[in-house]
Amino acid sequence: MKTAVLYVRVSTDEQADKGFSQRDQDERLRNYCERQGIRVSQVIYEDYSAKTFNRPAWTKFIAYLRRFRGKTDLVLFTKWDRFSRNAPDAYQMISTLKRLGVEPQAVEQPLDMDVPESKIMLAIYLTTPEVENDRRSLNVFYGMRRARKEGRWMARAPVGYKNITTEDGKKKIIISEPQASQIKAAFIEISKGRFSIEQVWRLCRQNGLKCSKNNFWLAIRNPIYCGKILITTHKEEQAFLVQGVHDPIISESLFYDVQDVLDGKKRKSIGGLKMVSVDLLPLRGFLLCPKCGKQITGSASKGRSQYYHYYHCSAGCDFRQKAEEVNRIFEDTLDDYVLNPKIAPIFKEVILDAYDNDTMFGRQDRKQYIEQITALNNKITKSRELLMNDDIDASDYKKIKSEAEQKIAVLDAKVASVPDTFITTRELNPLIEKSISILANIRTIYCNSDSYTRRKIIGSIYPQKIPFQDLLVRTATTSEPFRIMYLINKELEAEKNKKTGSNLSLSRMVFQNGFEPLLAESESDVLPLHYWKAWRIAARATNI
């Protein structure tokens, strides 16, 4: 008498859609064995898809057959689609079973494996359910692609959103706070290019963002946050973006700025700095070793009764300085950037003048963007005419159109980022007053702030890492606003002492034609703009 193992498999969707049940299969298999005089050794129940053989119960069954060879003659199932819905995997598994001395057989689709022609029927039985699966998958794929083209997000909501079902039964995603605000803050910080992506992620995690590092990288690349949904490339259809039906968390302009940072198109002002630092080591990561040029880090050493903090080289050389001394040196350098209250009115006037210039450039940029968009649209129109005249192939036209549309999308976002109207002087005055108050008390604010605020102040003054020796002699490269402030203070100091150092680039004399810079006779005579601004403020201040 032959011994058989009964294999009863059903997947959840099949049980719901087609009425397959494990009890029904079990009954039919037992009836078959009773009629054929086959002894049943065990029954294997499986609730798993048949797309592969990576099924828990089946894996244990194969292990059983290898351990107890010769104890089983048959493995029986009702139909071949209960065995597998993947023809290549099925043929391989049939070979494995034969090597183990076991014959697979479908009781409702019996085949004599010794007859060569039976392989044709076997191919039909195995291929038919595979084709059915593929067709179902294809229908689902095209349905989801159509939904995405209509602006619907067809997946689990990304961080910052949540899935809901509306009253009419439609599914959509909506903004979920406070995660959405954390994501927006992350985009803003990354766009500034001051810290690495991991550092921004860690800061957001500390502030409550629930997102792994890998998901964070995917999130900042996902255009869904600016209201767009990516339609991926499929066959001859190129990838493109569509407007989503959900509300955006950030602007398109901010999204593209972040992509520029990620792609290396936007230079980072500070690279590789650790945002998290103890209060006594705010300069950790900003300084460079004077001996080997490597980054200076910091740590604490335990003494008898307390900890002592030091800055030391990360490369392991013997540079080591007490943190208190280095912090004091830096605090002393802040005096060079304190705004003199006497020149505050003039400083305010120059800021307003600079704002007028910047808004003028903004209007010019907007005009240039619109002109570029018009040129690209004309390019598409011209290529369409060439296509109709058979001067170019359809594939060339599609490539030209796709490239132009991608550029237009970026330019549209830039146009949207440049406002049609700008804030008035009345609206700008409170912001300027606040800035002047900060500059006039920069050292006090720094000394009374927490570690994170201190590091923001350091980063705003020094856009690059600071060689330690340059910090001592106060020659480190600073950002534009603080460089102007330094020049103004030096010029005022020189006026107070009635002398100008030979190393100063500014003159304390006011020319006869007023405060505007003289026209240069040659290009080499032109001074940088920040020198003219500093000269203008200092010159007027010395005549108050």
- 237, 146 Cβ separation under 8 angstroms: no
DSSP for 73-142, written as a single string:
-EEEESSHHHH-S-HHHHHHHHHHHHHTT-EEEETTS---TTSTTHHHHHHHHHHHHHHHHHHHHHHHHH
Distances (CA, A) of 382 to 207, 237, 259, 379: 52, 21, 31, 5
The rounded distance, in Å, linking the Cα atoms of 12 and 47 is: 7
Instruction: Name the helix (H) or strand (E) containing 291.
Output: none
Low-confidence ranges of the chain (pLDDT < 70): 12-20, 265-279, 357-362, 419-425, 490-544
- 48, 9 Cβ separation under 8 angstroms: yes
The rounded distance, in Å, linking the Cα atoms of 3 and 201 is: 60
> Beta strand 307-313 with 228-231: parallel, antiparallel or unpaired?
unpaired
Cis peptide before 178 (omega within 30 of 0): yes
The rounded distance, in Å, linking the Cα atoms of 129 and 137 is: 12
What long-range pairs does 367-374 form, CB within 8 A, spacing at least 24? 369/411, 369/414, 369/415, 369/418, 370/415, 372/407, 372/411, 373/408, 373/411, 373/412, 373/415
Domain boundaries, the chain: 3-136, 175-262, 341-433
The rounded distance, in Å, linking the Cα atoms of 51 and 168 is: 35
Segments in 1-101 forming alpha helices (H) = 12-17, 22-36, 56-67, 80-83, 87-99
Instruction: Name the helix (H) or strand (E) containing 372.
Output: helix 344-388
Distances (CA, A) of 533 to 38, 229, 354, 474, 484: 100, 46, 9, 21, 7
Claim: this prediction has a pTM higher than 0.75: no
- pLDDT value of residue 5: 92
How distant is the alpha carbon of residue 303 from its chain centre? Answer: 44
What fold does the segment set 3-136 form as a domain?
Rossmann fold (3.40.50)
Place of tokens 């040029």: 293
Does the CA dihedral 255-482-448-332 come out positive or negative? positive
- pLDDT value of residue 16: 40
User: Looking at domain 175-262, what is its CATH homologous superfamily?
Assistant: Putative Large Serine Recombinase; Chain B, Domain 2 (3.90.1750.20)
